[in-house]
């Protein structure tokens, strides 16, 4: 579909600013927004702006009460609804606030901001009353403002920071999509980079480590490229980028430790960190489930290290005598057995493995962890876990195994670094 340059313009008592805007923008489609008093000016405006003939499409949306902001806004809203139905792209739309009452201009500015559209204004190089009055006819000039959404999007920027900092990456991505759709190219470009970073952290929390690293590195590279165009904006994000790069290195360590199975002590450390993040969200049952999985994976990683085999389908002949007796009736194909968590640690203790011995030395404490996990609604019970119970279990886990999830801390974004982003201060 061929693009159509579209002008949305208020019509007040003076036709000159409207004529100047029409002559400058040369629109294919015009949406006039007059008051009941000024609508009869439109024919005069067209005849003066187009002395050789008028070929543009024109539409008129009359405001009943030009002194009522709600009434003015309603018609502006109707204009943009009509534009949407016509399939006109935002990049082809120009907004002119010059004509009409102050309420009409304010309403059009608000509506344009919601649509993510840039606004223009017809001013002048000469004014009456020593520069304080109206524009002298014949000296009209078009001025363009900073993108209004960029200025008024403070709430969206704060929401993004809040969602990102509280691990709610899906709504953070939704905010990015909204900002990208509504804002200037400058601000949109930066939020496209932030979106990639948020997608990376979302994948991280979902244990999709390879996709996570790709997205995070893509976001970092995206901001690095933009730093040449928007140096001041991107430099404000340096304190945010530093921990992101550290996180990327930590994640790379997880991937390199066990490229295929992801069974490693590095993954265990991430599981424990993930448990802490879930606890910060108040999801204590989820947090304990991750601690339990970390407990299992410690044993699994040691089995791979010692035997180059998993705890599942483990050769019966390699079991210690106590476990052979216990599993004599559970032998599967190829003379293998599937070892549970306790049995795996028992076998490790026989091998004089550090973690096997720690487990057996703290068997009573660890049984408490297992009991709490089993009582959880996420396992076999119906009792939700409290913050205090999780913290006690976490402290026991760290005290026994020396694996603290606090070593992996996700990057946080200070809203003060983002609030000015996208705004052209005219420097």
- Interatomic CA distance for residues 360 and 341, integer angstroms: 12
- Interatomic CA distance for residues 308 and 318, integer angstroms: 12
> Residue-wise pLDDT tens for the chain (427 aa)?
568 899 999 998 888 889 988 988 899 999 999 999 999 999 999 999 999 999 999 999 999 999 999 999 999 999 999 999 999 988 889 899 888 889 999 999 889 888 878 777 665 454 344 443 444 454 445 655 666 777 778 899 999 999 999 999 999 999 999 999 888 888 999 999 999 999 999 999 999 999 999 999 999 999 999 998 999 999 999 999 999 999 999 999 999 987 667 899 999 999 999 999 999 999 999 999 999 999 999 999 999 999 999 999 999 999 999 999 999 999 998 899 999 999 999 999 999 999 999 999 999 888 877 777 777 776 677 778 889 989 999 999 999 999 999 999 999 999 988 877 766 544 3
**Per-residue DSSP letter, 420:** T
Paired with 96 in beta bridges are 9, 120
Of the candidates 61, 84, 86, 60, which has an alpha carbon nearest to the alpha carbon of residue 72? 61
* pLDDT in the model for residue 99: 81
**Per-residue DSSP letter, 116:** T
* pLDDT in the model for residue 126: 44
* pLDDT in the model for residue 117: 83
DSSP sequence for 52-111: T---SEEEE--BS-TT-HHHHHHHHHHHHHHHHHHT--GGGEEEE--SS-HHHHHHHHHH
- Interstrand relation of 119-124 and 140-144 (parallel, antiparallel or unpaired): antiparallel
């Amino acid at each position: 579909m061929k693009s159509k340059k579209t002008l949305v313009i208020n019509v007040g008592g003076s036709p000159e600013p409207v004529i100047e805007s029409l002559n400058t923008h040369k629109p294919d489609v015009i949406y006039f927004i007059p008051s009941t008093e000024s609508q009869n000016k439109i024919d005069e405006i067209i005849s003066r702006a187009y002395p050789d003939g008028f070929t543009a499409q024109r539409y008129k949306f009359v405001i009943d009460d030009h002194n009522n902001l709600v009434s003015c806004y309603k018609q502006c809203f109707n204009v943009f609804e009509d534009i949407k139905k016509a399939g006109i792209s935002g990049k082809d739309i120009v907004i002119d606030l010059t004509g009409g009452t102050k309420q009409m201009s304010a309403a059009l500015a608000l509506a344009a901001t919601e649509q993510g559209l840039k606004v223009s204004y017809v001013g002048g190089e000469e004014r009456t009353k020593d520069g304080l009055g109206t524009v002298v006819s014949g000296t009209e000039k078009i001025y363009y403002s900073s993108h209004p959404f960029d200025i008024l999007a403070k709430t969206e920027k704060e929401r993004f920071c809040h969602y990102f900092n509280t691990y709610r990456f899906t709504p953070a991505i939704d905010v990015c999509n909204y900002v990208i759709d509504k804002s200037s190219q400058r601000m949109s470009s930066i939020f496209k980079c932030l979106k990639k970073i948020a997608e990376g952290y979302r994948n991280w929390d979902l244990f999709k480590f390879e996709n996570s690293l790709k997205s995070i590195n893509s976001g970092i590279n995206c901001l690095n490229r933009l730093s040449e165009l928007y140096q001041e904006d991107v430099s404000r994000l340096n304190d945010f980028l530093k921990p992101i790069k550290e996180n990327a290195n930590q994640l790379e360590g997880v991937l390199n430790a066990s490229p295929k199975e992801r069974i490693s002590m590095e993954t265990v450390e991430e599981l424990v960190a993930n448990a802490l993040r879930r606890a910060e969200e108040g999801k204590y049952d989820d947090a304990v489930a991750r601690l339990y999985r970390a407990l299992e994976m410690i044993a699994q990683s040691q089995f791979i290290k010692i035997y180059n085999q998993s705890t599942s389908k483990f050769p019966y002949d390699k079991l210690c005598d106590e476990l052979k007796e216990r599993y004599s009736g559970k032998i599967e194909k190829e003379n293998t057995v599937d070892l549970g968590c306790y049995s795996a640690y028992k076998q490790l203790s026989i091998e004089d493995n550090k973690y096997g011995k720690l487990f057996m030395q703290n068997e009573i404490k660890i049984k408490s962890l297992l009991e709490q996990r089993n009582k959880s609604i996420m396992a076999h019970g119906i009792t939700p876990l409290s913050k205090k119970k999780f913290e006690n279990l976490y402290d026991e886990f760290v005290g026994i195994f020396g694996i603290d999830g606090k070593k992996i801390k996700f990057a946080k974004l200070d809203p003060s670094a983002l609030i000015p982003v996208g705004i052209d201060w005219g420097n």
